[in-house]
Structures are given as C-alpha cells and as structure tokens.
C-alpha cells in the first residue's frame, strides 16, 4: 500500500503542478480578458446609444424644419389668397363706385 501511495503521489505531482499553474495564471488572465471585453463592450454600446440619440435628434429636427416650411408655405399661400381676394373685392368696389358715378 505504501508503494502504491508513493507512485500515486509521483504521478499526481505533475497534474497538481499543472492545476496550480492553471489556478495561479490562467484564471486571473481569463478574468482580466473578460473585464477588458466587458469594458470594450460597454464603450461600444455607449457609442451605439449616442449614435441612436443623435439620429433621433436629427430626425426630430428634420421633421420640425419640414413642419415649419409647410406652415410657412401655408401662411404664404393664405397671405397670397387674402391679397388676391382683397384686390378682387377692391376692384368690385371700384367698379361699383364708377357705375354709381357714371350712372351706368
């Protein structure tokens, strides 16, 4: 039994050394790699969110500009139509006055 125990320890020593090496070096390196990956992922997602926010702001601005142009166009059209109606009305009034004066 003693001989087989020593043989077991001799055979297990390299495995234990490898496990020690794994615990001492590989796991901390893996943790560092994961932390670095998560930091980069966070930065990337923050960038994507910022781009999305800028796109939404640009879309809102474009919609606001389009709306204000449409509104200005309608106001201009209304102003033009009102001026035309006033001119037509004043022509009618002037004609009416002329007819009244000339008796015709």
Q: What is the pLDDT of residues 36-71, one digit of tens each?
A: 999 999 999 999 999 999 999 888 888 888 877 776
Q: pLDDT value at position 1?
A: 52
Average pLDDT for residues 89-96, to the nearest whole number?
A: 75
pTM score: 0.45
H-assigned helices in the chain:
2-21, 27-102
The pLDDT of residue 88: 78
**Residue the block writes with tokens 């037509």:** 88
Q: What is the mean pLDDT of residues 15-29?
A: 86
φ and ψ of 103, to 5 deg = 80, 20
For residue 80, pLDDT over 80 is answered with no
- Nearest of 89, 11, 47 to residue 55 by alpha carbon: 47
Model confidence at 96: pLDDT above 70: yes
């Amino acid at each position: 039994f003693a001989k087989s125990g020593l043989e077991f320890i001799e055979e297990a020593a390299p495995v234990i050394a490898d496990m020690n090496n794994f615990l001492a070096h590989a796991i901390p390196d893996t943790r560092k790699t994961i932390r670095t990956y998560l930091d980069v992922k966070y930065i990337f997602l923050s960038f994507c969110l910022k781009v999305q926010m800028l796109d939404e702001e640009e879309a809102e601005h474009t919609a606001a500009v389009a709306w204000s142009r449409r509104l200005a166009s309608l106001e201009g059209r209304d102003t033009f139509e009102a001026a035309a109606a006033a001119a037509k009305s004043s022509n009618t009034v002037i004609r009416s006055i002329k007819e009244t004066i000339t008796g015709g």
